[in-house]
Structure 1
Amino acid sequence: MSDVAAMRGPIRWLDRSGLGLLSPALLVLLAVFVAPLLFLVPTSLHPYVPGQGIGPEWTLKNYTDILGDAFYLQIIGRTLALGLIVVAATLVIGYPLAYFLARTRSPLRPWLIILVVFPLLLNLVVRSFGWIVLLANRGLINDWLISAGMIDKPIKLLFNFTGLLIGLSHIFLPFMVLVLIGTIQNIPRDVENAALTLGATRREVFTKVTLPLSLPGVLSGSILVFVLTISALVTPRLLGGPTYQVMSTLIFDEFLKILNWPRGAAMAFILTAIVLLLVWASGKLTAYLATSR
């Protein structure tokens, strides 16, 4: 009986804190996501010996080499810049579309939302190859521009930053739109109507009421798209080619082509640290926006 009584305290605490309900999901996350990363920690702290594999010594050289090498810093900067620009592109395109879908009362609204979601039902490789057909030097876009007399020779749209930006913006646009639709729908129409009643114009209602209240959704969608962009592998490999590298493709090459697992593990942890820092900062900013209203 004493053992049962001793267990009641922790059980009650789990019930009150909600961890009792969350514990199965937490265990799955720990087993599927955290445990594999922890197994890579020792790997990243060993040197790579050409012709032999992972050396027995312990060192931070993999991290110092990456963070002190201009080549790797350029790849990191390119990856972060790509993520930010894709976020900006999806936000500029996605916010008006999400606002229309959230506010329209058209009977076609469900079908329009299906059109937004439909690209997610297609295989990622198929969508990437579709963009190759469109963006190639003799692809549909260049052929149309040449036939229209707008250009004399094909514009390089593949295997560079432009191709990656177009392809990733198209692929991750539905995520931004879906997040923003839910956020804008939760903004009470009475608040906007009250502002109109008090003499505000439609533009002032949007800039001073709707947009500020939708900022948490904008932030959530931006973080989601940014994280997906900097960690994407298939599309950067197909649209960027073997020469235009970002962090994900470089990590892939380190593991499976060069077989330098220690350096690949170190690069993976650097990318993970960037993502975790970004998520932490977004959480702080979201909390600040919620308390400053």
Structure 2
Amino acid sequence: MSTRLARRLERNGLGLLSPPLVLLLLVFLLPLLAMVPTSLHPYIPGKGIGEGFTAEHYVKALTDTYYLEIIGRTLALGLIVTLICLALGYPLAFFLARTQSRWRPWLMLLVVFPLLLNLVVRTFGWIALLANRGLVNDTLVALGIVETPVKLLFNFSGLLIALSHIFLPFMVLVLVGVIRNLPRDVEDAARTLGAGWATTFLRVTLPLSLPGILAGSILVFVLTVSALVTPRLLGGPTYKVMSTLIYDQFLQLLNWPAGAALSFILTAIAVGLISLSSAVARRLGAGA
């Protein structure tokens, strides 16, 4: 009887999952697979995609120092933005999840509010703030912290600040849901047994919230390394990351094979890092 019930539940589960799986296949996987042969064709300047197959685009992207620098810059940006969002987002999410204040809905609204604004509008807002004569530099000069404006546009610093602000709400929203569902009786039991607040947090709360930390970190990392609008506007035409480089290869240089190869390399690196972080998190969770 239990075997029949398990099989029925399995069939029902697959039935419920089939529509989104089919949509994912049509919208994501098939277009991605269609680019595989494109990435293996040569590119002839002035003519477009040539005949035959070659791996030169992959080899060049993985051996040329220009491309390696851009790949490293993109991954470093994704990692640092993720760490900043986690460091700022976890305390905020913990407060929002545990507070009993009547202002909690309004505080949640403040977290969600930036997501209601268009990404281009938020990016132009950061351009106005970080410009040489923007609010940030004018304040630093007025306070005597610096004598001349600090260059915060068209470099790593500007992208780091803007992307951390843009993707912080995603981290907070993921962590709030996880922290609110943590069993409070486990924390109460730890305190009953003599554990202090810090010990309870480090030994109980933090390990139990590890799935949320992992989910939020993966989400922010993927969004950061694939972001296009903000790096394009804040980085300008010269300061490139992988997304802007791929954009230029496809739409400006019309080098579709190179753009497809770079897209697959970025996807493979992101998936590899996500798989590695998931394995580490599972091991740490099992140890805890």
Name the TM-score class by shorter chain.
Answer: over 0.9
Match of 1:59 in 2: 54
Q: CA deviation at 1:88?
A: 0.7
Match of 1:175 in 2: 170
Match of 1:281 in 2: 276
**Partner SS state of residue 46, structure 1:** coil
Match of 1:31 in 2: 26
Conserved in 2, the CA contact under 8 Å of 1:216 and 1:289? no
Deviations 1:234-288 (A, max 9, x none): 0001111111110000000011111111000000011111222233334434443
Match of 2:228 in 1: 233
Match of 1:18 in 2: 13
Q: Aligned letter for 2:240? A: Q
Taking structure 2 as the reference length, the TM-score comes to 0.94
Taking structure 1 as the reference length, the TM-score comes to 0.92
**Partner SS state of residue 18, structure 1:** helix
Q: State the alpha-carbon separation in 2 of the partners of residues 70 and 166 from structure 1.
A: 26
Unaligned runs of 5+ in 1: 1-11
Task: Map 1:146-161 to 2 at 5 A.
Answer: 146-161=141-156
Conserved in 1, the CA contact under 8 Å of 2:81 and 2:160? yes
Match of 2:4 in 1: none
Q: State the alpha-carbon separation in 2 of the partners of residues 119 and 282 from structure 1.
A: 28
**Partner SS state of residue 153, structure 1:** coil
Q: State the alpha-carbon separation in 2 of the partners of residues 236 and 292 from structure 1.
A: 39
Conserved in 1, the CA contact under 8 Å of 2:207 and 2:285? no
Q: Aligned letter for 1:157? A: L
Q: State the alpha-carbon separation in 2 of the partners of residues 199 and 76 from structure 1.
A: 49
Deviations 1:126-156 (A, max 9, x none): 0000000100001011112212222211000
Deviations 1:56-79 (A, max 9, x none): 011111101110111101100000
**Residue in structure 2 matching 1:200, options 173, 195, 202:** 195
Distance change (3 Å), C-alpha of 1:14 and 1:268? farther
Q: CA deviation at 1:157?
A: 0.7
Deviations 1:188-213 (A, max 9, x none): 11111111111111111111111111
CA RMSD of aligned residues (A): 1.6
1:163 counterpart = 2:141: no
**Residue in structure 1 matching 2:43, options 48, 57, 63:** 48
Q: Which moved more, 1:275-284 or 1:31-40?
A: 275-284
Q: State the alpha-carbon separation in 2 of the partners of residues 187 and 92 from structure 1.
A: 20
Aligned residues: 282
Q: State the alpha-carbon separation in 2 of the partners of residues 256 and 75 from structure 1.
A: 18
Match of 2:114 in 1: 119
Which consecutive segments of 4 or more residues in structure 1 shift more than 4 A? 12-15
Q: State the alpha-carbon separation in 2 of the partners of residues 70 and 33 from structure 1.
A: 31
Conserved in 2, the CA contact under 8 Å of 1:102 and 1:181? yes
Q: State the alpha-carbon separation in 2 of the partners of residues 14 and 268 from structure 1.
A: 38
Unaligned runs of 5+ in 2: 1-6
Q: Aligned letter for 2:254? A: L
**Partner SS state of residue 149, structure 2:** coil
Conserved in 1, the CA contact under 8 Å of 2:247 and 2:259? yes
**Residue in structure 2 matching 1:140, options 135, 141, 148:** 135
Q: Which moved more, 1:229-238 or 1:182-191?
A: 182-191
Match of 2:204 in 1: 209
Q: Which moved more, 1:244-253 or 1:195-204?
A: 195-204
Q: State the alpha-carbon separation in 1 of the partners of residues 8 and 182 from structure 2.
A: 36
Aligned residues with identical type, % of pairs: 67
Distance change (3 Å), C-alpha of 1:272 and 1:14? farther
Q: Aligned letter for 1:174? A: P
Match of 2:183 in 1: 188
Q: State the alpha-carbon separation in 1 of the partners of residues 281 and 24 from structure 2.
A: 24
Conserved in 1, the CA contact under 8 Å of 2:246 and 2:259? yes
